[in-house]
Amino acid sequence: MNTSSQRSYFSADRDLQAIAERDLWTAVFLQAIDDLTGTKGAHPLALQKAAQRWFESTSEEPRAFLWLCIHLNLDPAAVLESILHTARPERMLASPK
């Protein structure tokens, strides 16, 4: 394999890895929305509270809501607005603020 072929191979491998990573984090994000809203069935209150804390966090550490929005190129405020508009209010927890 020549150098050009190697670069192309490794570049394609990195692209596939990036796609797989994005898909994984998208699934995590969708699960967090479901945990918060309970739209796919009843969830224990503790799970909903944990999801609410995750969405309200201001941390940008890896795996935090804001980090994930940055990673997925999403606007955090728009995401939260969308969740609040599409969720069934009776399943949402009241914000502690």
CA–CA dist 21, 15 (Å, integer)? 10
**Residue 9 pLDDT exceeds 70:** no
CB of 31 closer than 8 Å to CB of 71: no
Let me know if residue 47 belongs to a domain: yes
Let me know if residue 43 belongs to a domain: yes
3 vs 62, more confident: 62
Domain count, the chain: 1
Which pLDDT score is estimated for 61?
A: 96
Query: Residues near 60 by Cβ (< 8 Å), separated by ≥ 6?
Result: 66, 67, 70
89 vs 25, more confident: 25
Which pLDDT score is estimated for 96?
A: 46
Let me know if residue 8 belongs to a domain: no
92 vs 76, more confident: 76
Let me know if residue 11 belongs to a domain: no
Which pLDDT score is estimated for 7?
A: 60
Let me know if residue 17 belongs to a domain: no
